Amino acid sequence: MQPIEMYPQPPGTPQLDTVAVIYTGGTIGMCKNQDGQYAPDPDYLVHTMRNTPLFKHHDLPKYHVMSIPPLLDSASMNIDDWVRIARTIESLYDLYLGFVVIHGTDTLAYTASILSFILVNLRKPVVITGSQLPLCECYSDGYFNLVGAIRATTWNINEVCVYFNNKLMRGNRVQKYSAWAIDAFDTASIEPLAIQGTDLKLNKHVISSMTPVWPTQVTSTKLTVTTPCKDIAITTLYPGFQPKLLRAFIGFRGLVIQAFGTGNGPSTLEFLSELQNLHLNGCVIVVVTQTHTGLVNLGQYEAASTLRSAGCISGYCMTSEAAFCKLSYLCGLGLNQEQVEQSFGQVLRGEFDTVECEGY
């Protein structure tokens, strides 16, 4: 990690009233290459922040910008990159008021989810942002997203969040909904934590109502980072899904199945036996819905009973991204299959609601 810009303080004097802005890449700071395609540019974002009055506005907290090289298109990110971001936050944790992570939008929902789990005992804000259009375009959404994310670190919401298009959202609930719209992210299962209109609306009931259900979150005052497991996968059911495809996941610790509707799949013996085999081989199999809203209920239809009798567990209203990252986090703790299955059903970081999911 290299500090690449210190504004407005002189270098080398981080203080607890200062925000660390950690730049990992993404469209926001990209420029067009010779072929006219957007590609990461090491200087453009900092150059723009330095030369645009908006980023020096007196209402912003002090901040330091630093990067994690190489800057990446988030489509190229992997679990090692997530750990690098988490470790950077850990190394700066005692020095800064909060953290902004500048990130590509394509896999931002995954990064937001994994950070919410592996940053254990987090008591400071971590706000992730990016943009649909780079700062080099005159109508870029990156200006307001970045300024908004820096401001959001002062709102006393001490969890991993995403700031995008004037909304502050719980990180492990977000999904990228649009490759085109400026309002690209949303959280289907929960209201935003805050909305910036002509003034700020804090949804206090959302922020505080979730806090008591995170018993495992704050166990000490020290932030620690756990290492997520890489042997986790996601697969989608579709009409005609060939059960033998499940054999590819033997040896994996976890699999997220994006099932139909409320968690349904084919009621065939072949599907059942491949699933059972996978489960017997130690894989934790979580069922989420491939729809954007609604809950998995493995008891509602006969078509879900194959999944249930094979040992699959419900992902409730969790996003695929959150389910994948939660599995990766839990398997990374060294728990056995049964322990992972048991812990998976508990709310660890506000990633689903117990009230909404009762009975499922």
Catalytic residues: 27, 105
Q: Which is nearer to ligand ASP, 155 or 164 (CB)?
A: 164
C-alpha dihedral sign at 72, 73, 77, 83: positive
Q: Choose, by CB under 6 A, the member of 18, 74, 116, 289 that binds ligand ASP.
A: 74
Choices 20-28, 56-64, 208-216, 217-225; region in contact with ligand ASP by CB under 6 A: 20-28
Choices 104-112, 145-153, 247-255, 280-288; region in contact with ligand ASP by CB under 6 A: 104-112
Q: Choose, by CB under 6 A, the member of 5, 90, 106, 191 that binds ligand ASP.
A: 106
Report the alpha-carbon distance of residue 323 to residue 344 in Å, rounded.
9
Q: Which is nearer to ligand ASP, 161 or 259 (CB)?
A: 161
Distances (CA, A) of 175 to 71, 189, 349, 356: 22, 11, 16, 19
- The annotation status of 41 as a binding-site residue, yes or no, is no
Is residue 29 within the footprint of ligand ASP (CB under 6 A)? no
Written as six digits, the tokens of 183 are 């309002």
Choices 70-78, 148-156, 202-210, 258-266; region in contact with ligand ASP by CB under 6 A: 70-78
Which residues in 61-132 belong to E strands, given as ranges? 62-72, 98-102, 119-120, 126-129
What is the total count of residues that contact ligand ASP (CB under 6 A)?
11
| Number of other residues whose CB lies within 10 A of the CB of residue 82 | 23
Is residue 27 within the footprint of ligand ASP (CB under 6 A)? yes
Report the alpha-carbon distance of residue 14 to residue 123 in Å, rounded.
18
123-162 residues in contact with ligand ASP (CB under 6 A) are 130, 132
The residues that bridge with 167 in the sheet, in sequence order, are 164, 195
Q: What is the dihedral of CA 266, 270, 276, 280, to 10 degrees?
A: -150
Contacts with ligand ASP by CB under 6 A lie at: 25-27, 73-75, 104-106, 130, 132
Write out the binding residues for substrate. Answer: 74, 105-106
